[in-house]
């Protein structure tokens, strides 16, 4: 009973240390690390209004779509893609995706850097040089 | 005591049963709701397109009588520039690390098994253009552990999936024609004018002629055939009325190293 103060102080210190990542992030990290990046659309992408699938779907599934494109084009030789919206596309990263999203740094890289993923598409596939 | 324990066990048993059945029901309902999701009727589809050229077995006939050094250079230039094949210059141009899809050589090297004693001097050194033979029985495909090299059953083209290649080079050891090259270093700095419509390769990947599969898909003949001034003919070997078959019916043609049983699809009129 006499150690009540010591125990409480100890508990406070303990929780401060254990919860360090949370309060540190709340106080200091809010500015950059915790805000999700905003990929920028080019004029052309905005005009097109719709991608090969719904925006939500593209956001979460574009890598699966690209994988499917890759396998179907390279291995089955089928090079016409009719999307859900009924439009025909050339299933090609360099020629179709990058045609609209020609701003790799402000579109692809923003999220990829934020999520710390490092796709190796660009080792072989080319992207339009950004002029700015 | 006896009674309460019995009741406890009973209750516990029912609860477990209930939880199990409940989660199963939830799982089932989630499953069925997925199956009738709105876009089920209009899945994205792939197709060949109307423009694509198709054949049962693509093949090529090379008329060596029409070849000379400048035509050979023109064909190589046409192929290598559209396929982003690096042309290293200066220090990095080591002879054993050169990458080539199609290249000129001499008759005696292209056909070593065509053993003719006292072969005429001009015949021995006559230029012959060589490339991947897209063999009907390709040893490179059998050697590849990842199936990065595969034969398209639809049209007989021996293709490479660069995404899959791990650079083990088994295929290079297996190919008796030296048709394959290995990227010992990043090829990009050595590509002068990159063709944005075709990918480059990366370090550690094997590459070779793909019979211009990407051009056939849009109804174009291979680039080397177009640049050949009529020395190269391209067509379906399984179609008796095709240009290549007509040519083969008329002229005596040979294939490279036929004794190895790879059944090349590239023929040479000599
Ligand atoms: S020439 Fe060589 S690389 Fe081409 S299919 Fe035949 S074995 Fe394979
Ligand atoms: S180097 Fe690539 S293509 Fe050749 S056998 Fe290995 S994985 Fe297959
Ligand atoms: S068929 Fe196409 S890939 Fe093959 S050598 Fe000719 S141009 Fe090059």
* Nearest Cα residue to B179 out of B187, B170, B171, B190: B171
**Cβ-based burial of A75 (10 A; exposed 0-12, middle 13-18, buried ≥19):** middle
Confidence of residue B217 (pLDDT cuts 50, 70, 90): very high
* Domains parsed from chain B with CATH numbers: 32-269 (3.30.70.20)
Q: Given a cut of 80, is residue B206 above it in pLDDT?
A: yes
**What's chain A's average pLDDT?**
87
Complex confidence, ipTM: 0.77
**What's chain B's average pLDDT?**
89
Q: Given a cut of 70, is residue B42 above it in pLDDT?
A: no
Strand partners, B158: B151
Q: What are phi and psi of A80, to 5 degrees?
A: -120, 130
Q: Given a cut of 70, is residue B129 above it in pLDDT?
A: yes
For chain A, what are the domain ranges?
Answer: 1-30, 41-131
Nearest residue in B to A127, CA atom: B196
What number does the ligand 2 atom closest to the CA of B146 have?
Answer: 7
Confidence of residue B23 (pLDDT cuts 50, 70, 90): confident
> In whole angstroms, what separates CA B60 from the centre of its chain?
16
Task: Please name the residues between 24 and 83 in chain A that touch chain B, using a CB distance below 8 Å.
Answer: 52-53, 70, 72, 74-83
* Cβ contact, residue pair B52, A79, below 8 Å: yes
Is the full-model pTM beyond 0.90?
no
Q: Given a cut of 50, is residue B197 above it in pLDDT?
A: yes
Contacts of A74 in chain B (CB under 8 A): 159, 161, 163
Q: Given a cut of 60, is residue B32 above it in pLDDT?
A: no
pLDDT score of B45: 87
* Nearest Cα residue to B66 out of B229, B248, B223: B229
Whether B175 is in the pocket of ligand 1, judged by its Cβ within 6 Å, is yes
* Nearest Cα residue to B148 out of B171, B130, B132, B129: B171
Cα of B132 from ligand 1 centre, angstroms: 5
Full DSSP string of B188-242: GGG-SS--TTS----TT-EE---TTHHHHTTT---HHHHTTTTSEEEEETT-TTS
Residues making up chain A, counted from first to last: 132
3-state secondary structure B7-42: HHHHHHHHHHHHHHHHHHHHHHHHHHHHHCCHHHHH
The DSSP element (H or E) to which A48 belongs, if any, is helix A43-48
pLDDT score of B6: 87
pLDDT score of B99: 94
3-state secondary structure A61-75: HHHHHHHHHHHHHHH
């Amino acid at each position: 009973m006499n150690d009540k103060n010591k125990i409480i102080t100890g508990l406070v210190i303990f929780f401060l240390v254990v919860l360090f990542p949370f309060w540190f992030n709340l106080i200091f990290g809010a500015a950059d690390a915790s805000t999700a990046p905003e990929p920028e659309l080019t004029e052309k992408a905005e005009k097109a209004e719709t991608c090969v699938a719904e925006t939500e779907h593209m956001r979460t599934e574009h890598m699966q779509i690209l994988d499917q494109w890759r396998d179907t084009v390279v291995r089955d030789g089928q090079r016409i893609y009719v999307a859900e919206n009924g439009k025909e596309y050339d299933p090609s990263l360099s020629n179709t995706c990058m045609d609209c999203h020609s701003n790799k740094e402000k579109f692809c890289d923003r999220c990829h850097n934020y999520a710390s993923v490092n796709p190796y598409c660009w080792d072989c596939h080319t992207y339009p040089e950004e002029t700015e | 005591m006896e009674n309460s324990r019995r009741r406890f066990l009973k209750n516990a048993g029912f609860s477990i049963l209930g939880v199990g059945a409940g989660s199963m029901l939830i799982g089932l309902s989630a499953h069925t709701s997925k199956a009738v999701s709105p876009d089920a009727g209009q899945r994205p589809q792939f197709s060949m397109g109307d423009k694509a050229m198709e054949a049962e077995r693509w093949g090529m006939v090379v008329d060596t009588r029409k070849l000379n050094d400048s035509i050979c250079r023109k064909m190589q230039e046409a192929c290598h520039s559209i396929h982003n094949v690096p042309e290293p210059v200066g220090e990095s141009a080591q002879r054993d690390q050169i990458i080539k899809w199609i290249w000129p050589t001499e008759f005696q090297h292209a056909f070593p098994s065509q053993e003719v004693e006292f072969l005429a001097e001009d015949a021995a050194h006559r230029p012959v253009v060589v490339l991947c033979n897209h063999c009907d029985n390709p040893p490179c495909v059998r050697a590849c552990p990842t199936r990065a090299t595969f034969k398209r059953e639809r049209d007989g083209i021996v293709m490479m999936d660069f995404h899959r290649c791990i650079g083990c080079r088994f295929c290079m050891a297996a190919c008796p024609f030296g048709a394959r090259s290995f990227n010992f270093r990043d090829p990009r700095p050595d590509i002068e004018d990159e063709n944005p419509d075709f990918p480059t390769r990366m370090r550690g990947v094997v590459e070779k002629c793909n019979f211009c599969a990407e051009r056939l898909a849009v109804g174009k003949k291979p680039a080397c055939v177009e640049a050949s001034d009529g020395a190269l003919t391209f067509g379906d070997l399984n179609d008796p009325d095709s240009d290549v078959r007509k040519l083969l019916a008329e002229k005596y043609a040979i294939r490279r190293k036929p004794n190895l049983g790879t059944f090349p699809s590239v023929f040479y009129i000599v």
